[in-house]
Amino acid sequence: MLRLAVLLLCGLKGFGSELCLEDGVPESQRKYIQDGAGIDIPIGIFESNWASSWLLNKLTEMLVQEVMGYHAKVDPRMGANGASCFYALPGCMDFDNKIVAEKQCGINETTLHISVDSWVGSYASAMDQFNKEFPRIASVDLGSMGYAGEESMYVSQAILNDAYGDSGLALDFYKSYNTTHHNPRKYFDSIHDVDLSELEMCNETDMSNPSRIGDYAKYSGDYDGVVSQADGTFVAKCTDNRWWYAPACRQNSSQCIPLFTSGNGWKLQALMQWSTAYGMPTAIALSKGYSTWMKHVKNHRALHYWWVPDSTFIDMLPEPLTFARHSATEWLEGDKKSGAKGSYVSKLVSHNLQAKAGRVREFVSNMNFELPEVQRLLLELDQLGSTYNVSCKWMKENRDGWGKKRGGSYIYIVFTSCLSLRKD
């Protein structure tokens, strides 16, 4: 079902030989690269399963095709998380397998050569370990995309406006949720309005992950919010095996503000620690799957986990909550009560792209976007419904930002309209 959504986003346009740019390189004149056996292959582009990856890798494909003049193709296989790209580009056949030894790496030459919007920051240690084990085929990091991925607790613009207009309460600031001084609950729905059957069971998610919940208990001191196991580890203490109540509303669930996350527990420990450390009356639950999470956030006045760049809730204009300044030392130790730090988002290429198409590698290394620009493009994607249409529109409107022609060919680029042109 999710793959169908991707195909719909990509649209029918752009899968054939149609050109976006009037002076773009037509398909019949594009070059192939060659694999180790001398066989012609297109430059393979790897995307992950989120909107900014779909869009920016489609844009990369179109620029490599029409500007650089190479055959290029976004691979139909998609990465499930930020680690997928640095296993896929070296040629690992089962790049999403959770067990590294079963990813089948180093067997075949890679057919994937580029991945942009690669959220590798949260997987730095795993990437370093892989690169040490497979130095010959390890992907090459060409640097930041120009923005960091931001993950936090979010609140919608509608709720923000209602609270500020009614009482001057700024609900994008963590201290506004302290019930000793404020009553934020009145601006949110009740957790009892949520269908329990649409929530994951705690014992099947990271609510029962001893490592995450153990760190929560250790650094929060909230041993009333966890259950000790026979082996000395801890799991979250949930009501109805669905909701975890923060201390500020644990004795009266009617005063809890719903807080939705999903997956196995995206940013779960941080959400729990923020709630406890700052006296926030939250009840945390995991929506059953991505579509249910979307429905919960859009249909309930609630807090929610989110990340940017992303378009899922862009029409709601949500704002991240501001927490205490990030402490790298505390987070490294496992203590996540301070604010989160932006996650490193990179441009990766295969180890052999320099030898096969060095100009393309240099082209990719120059890509640089600012976060507001990516969010604006994602809003256009939400409105236009096609990664091809949004990419083509950007290419036409930002020609001064990505290149200019000398004679019959393009000279080098810098990939954002705010920067100066760089020549080859």
> Tens digit of pLDDT for each residue in 11-40?
333 444 689 999 999 999 999 999 999 999
Q: What six digits make up the tokens of 387?
A: 């990664």
pLDDT at 375: 93
Q: pLDDT tens-digit profile of 281-340? A: 999 999 999 999 999 999 999 999 999 999 899 989 999 999 999 998 998 888 999 998
Written as one string, the DSSP assignment of 131-174 is HHH-TTT--EEEEEEEEEEEEEEEE-HHHHHHHHHHH---TTBG
Mean pLDDT of 119-124: 86
pLDDT at 407: 46
- How many helices, marked H, and strands, marked E, lie in the chain? 13, 17
Neighbours of 237 (CB within 10 A): 18
Enter the pTM of the model.
0.75
Confidence of residue 95 (pLDDT cuts 50, 70, 90): confident
pLDDT at 341: 86
Using only the alpha carbons of the chain, give its radius of gyration.
Answer: 23
Burial 391-408 (b: 16+ CB within 10 A, else e): bbebbeeeeebbbeeeee
pLDDT at 412: 40
User: CA-CA-CA-CA torsion for 6, 417, 119, 218, nearest 10 degrees?
Assistant: -120
pLDDT at 8: 37
Is it the case that residue 193 has pLDDT exceeding 50?
yes
pLDDT at 408: 45
The C-alpha angle 148, 153, 158, rounded to 5 degrees, equals 110
Mean pLDDT of 64-76: 96
Percent of the chain with pLDDT over 70: 90
Is it the case that residue 411 has pLDDT exceeding 90?
no
Compute the distance between CA of residue 140 and CA of residue 119 in angstroms, rounded to an integer: 14
Q: pLDDT tens-digit profile of 206-248? A: 999 998 899 999 999 999 999 999 999 999 999 999 999 999 9
Question: Token pair 């179109």 is at which residue?
Answer: 62
Choose the weakest-confidence range: 59-68, 75-84, 231-240, 404-413.
Answer: 404-413
pLDDT at 221: 97
Mean pLDDT of 30-55: 96
Do the beta carbons of residue 92 and residue 104 sit within 8 Å? yes
pLDDT at 84: 92
Compute the distance between CA of residue 237 and CA of residue 247 in angstroms, rounded to an integer: 11
Distances (CA, A) of 65 to 25, 252, 422: 7, 60, 20
Print the SS3 string covering 253-275.
HHHCEEEEECCCCCCHHHHHHHH
Neighbours of 423 (CB within 10 A): 10
